[in-house]
Amino acid sequence: MKGFWLFLCLSVVSFVVKGQDSIYLWPTNSGKFLSSTFGETRSAHFHAGLDIKTWGREGYKVFASRDGYLSKLIITNQGYGKAIYLKHFDGTYTVYAHLQRFNSEFQAIADSIRINELDYSYTFEQSFEEKKLMVKQGDVIGYTGSTGIGPPHLHFEIRNSFNQPINPLSSNLAVQDTISPVFSSFLIEPLNINSKVFNSYYPSEIKPISVKNDTTYFDTVFVSGDIGLSANVYDQANQVNNKYAVYDLKLRSNNRHLYHEKINYFDFS
């Protein structure tokens, strides 16, 4: 068997990507605190945006994050609940979900369409002609709620022109985060009958032996054959107790780069 050193490099959740020209307005007045971040795993998908805390309450203002026009309104008792899709002049989109209600103009439009079509069901989805219903950055377009799935919060997305969700924290938007990610443990698993961890065929969870100056240290691990690694890591932010997905994850062994994950965007398909 042989011992090896394993290095996992972690980046904090709050970051800015240079070259991002679009200036976004924080989409609500409930505060700049998150319950979930972009790319977190769910039961059957990745989380496509930011979940902004509303502290168990409803009715905070929701602002158009950029100039643009109304692209779609959705009302459903599942998923995003009441949601607004705005399209912007560079072809990108922003999405505002789980709303308590739309602003009076958007609500009147939705009500009028449903009456004209004799559609009185709760579920409603309507797309709109481009550049017909204009909005300015900072306009109140709705109010935070708890429609669809989940407790009160605002789900906010930025999508590119291909309708792929991108990390909102890769824009000028940011939360206060001076706390380093936490590396709780990692799991080493033998992958075949010729593999062992500490001379055993069973997986072994490795706990840190110390943390100094934002570096987490583990004891030497003895393995043979092919092994798989799973890391238990999370990020945090100031003034809240939530655990978030890490933004940037790198794996190195003996100065070799073995793995790198950075979630800036993904495709729904």
136-176 pLDDT, tens digit per residue, is 999 999 999 999 998 999 999 999 999 999 999 999 999 99
pTM of the model: 0.86
Strand positions, DSSP E, 171-264: 182-190, 196-197, 204-206, 210-212, 215-217, 221-224, 227-234, 248-253, 256-262
Distances (CA, A) of 98 to 48, 102, 146, 236: 14, 10, 5, 24
10 pLDDT higher than 60: no
Structure tokens at 155: 């789900």
Full set of structural domains in the chain with CATH: 2-13+177-262 (no CATH), 34-170 (2.70.70.10)
12 pLDDT higher than 50: no
Q: Are 80 and 98 in contact (CB under 8 A)?
A: yes
